[in-house]
Structure 1
Amino acid sequence: MRPVKVENKQLIEGLFKVFREKGYEGASLNELAEKAGLKKASLYHRFPEGKKQIGMAVLLHSSEWLHTNLYQLLADKNIAATERLEMALSRISELYNQGKETCILRSLSMESGMQIFGEEIKGEMNRWIKYFAQLGLDFGFTEEEALKKGKESLVKVQGSLIVANAMSDTDIFVSSLAEIRELFDK
């Protein structure tokens, strides 16, 4: 067996970038292979089921990042709720490059991507809501209020990314993060 020339992290980051920029339908296997640093045959060797398997690998990578860098933080009761919120907002800003990057969930939910990845996307959005709702409970809100805040935080981030991108104005995203902070201000 030949040694792997492209490490998994580099591979996934390249694939992630193409899907983020082009969406599922717009991403060609040639572009995916090029950004991954592989020849098309090598890409198929790593992902024999093709583009759907590649998309699932990218979603799994995104889910793992969110779990490790956001959800675990939001659930960590050893850190004060206000500090967790600030750290979470900072990490969200980092993830989306201060509003310059598109969300992979949005990119993969366009056109036929939703038919293919809909359950995974819905599951990730529900996890986001769950962890932000838990944070709301830790702030002292009722279950109903906390759930509403969890949903609003998701809508504010996703909506602001779309508008910031369309308007070429990242201040929209930055303002949205400030609004999330205000949501939890009791």
Structure 2
Amino acid sequence: MTERADAVAAIAEVFRELGFEGASLSAITARTGLGKGSLYHLFPGGKEDMAEAVLAGIDGWFARAVFAPLRDDPDGEAAIRRMLRETDAYFRSGRRICLIAAFALDGTRDRFAGRIANYFTAWRDALAGALRRIGRAEADERAEHAVLAIQGALLLSRALDDPAVFGRTLERLEADLLRR
């Protein structure tokens, strides 16, 4: 791997598996295939710079694939269905943890608190906007509940080693969010 984007993707998986604190430079070099010098050339700020790049990549993907359609698509129902499909695909039907949530749960949270809060706030607010466009009462509360249900389902799917938990949660959310 020689491109920064490839390195970021590999580093993200190391962080998913080992956490920020547990991700040693040797684990990162082994996964990326890059030497320490190359890593520091790509990420002069070290592991913290790597984490910032990973979080920015995740945030950028969600901003394009999930948040923008929820905010901008005049067909709020289609946007919500897209959110659920894209979320399912991104989290590999419950087989992949939410790295931003994982960072929020450990000592890493303080280092990246603003980015973590912005991610969840953007998701909640974009979904609430789509819910308002389709005339749903209590749009803010429903949106918050949906993000909470998705995150909880990811955790439970991993804890039980049962990705079907995530799928069932997304199905229930679709019914609940789009029910008239």
Task: Flag whether TM exceeds 0.5 (same fold).
Answer: yes
Structure 2 portions without partners, runs of 5+ = none
- The CA distance in 1 between the partners of 2:52 and 2:175, in whole Å, is 35
Letter in 2 for 1:182: A
- Residue 71 of structure 1 is matched in structure 2 by 67
Q: Are residue 50 (structure 1) and residue 46 (structure 2) matched?
A: yes
- Residue 170 of structure 1 is matched in structure 2 by 163
- The CA distance in 1 between the partners of 2:38 and 2:148, in whole Å, is 38
Q: Quote the offset at 1:156 in angstroms.
A: 0.7
SS across alignment from 1:140 = coil
Structure 1 portions without partners, runs of 5+ = none
Percent identity over the alignment is 25
- Residue 150 of structure 2 is matched in structure 1 by 157
Aligned counterpart in structure 2 of residue 41 of structure 1, from 37, 49, 53: 37
| Alignment map for 1:75-114 (pairs within 5 Å) | 75-78=71-74, 80-114=75-109
- The CA distance in 1 between the partners of 2:92 and 2:141, in whole Å, is 26
- The CA distance in 1 between the partners of 2:70 and 2:49, in whole Å, is 30
Range with greater deviation from structure 2 (133-142 or 91-100): 133-142
Letter in 2 for 1:159: G
| Alignment map for 1:114-125 (pairs within 5 Å) | 114-125=109-120
- The CA distance in 2 between the partners of 1:129 and 1:104, in whole Å, is 17
- CA deviations 1:44-94 (Å, max 9, x no partner) are 12112111111111000000000111111112334x222211111110000
- CA deviations 1:86-143 (Å, max 9, x no partner) are 111110000000100000112222322011111210111000100010111012024x
Letter in 2 for 1:134: G
Q: Are residue 146 (structure 1) and residue 139 (structure 2) matched?
A: yes
Matched length: 179
CA contact under 8 A between 2:76 and 2:130: conserved in structure 1?
yes
- The CA distance in 2 between the partners of 1:9 and 1:90, in whole Å, is 24
Structure 1 segments, 4+ long, off by >2 Å, are: none
TM-score after normalising by structure 2: 0.94
- The CA distance in 1 between the partners of 2:8 and 2:65, in whole Å, is 17
- CA deviations 1:126-184 (Å, max 9, x no partner) are 00100010111012024xx1001110111011100001000001111011111211221
- The CA distance in 2 between the partners of 1:37 and 1:67, in whole Å, is 29
CA contact under 8 A between 2:77 and 2:130: conserved in structure 1?
no
TM-score after normalising by structure 1: 0.91
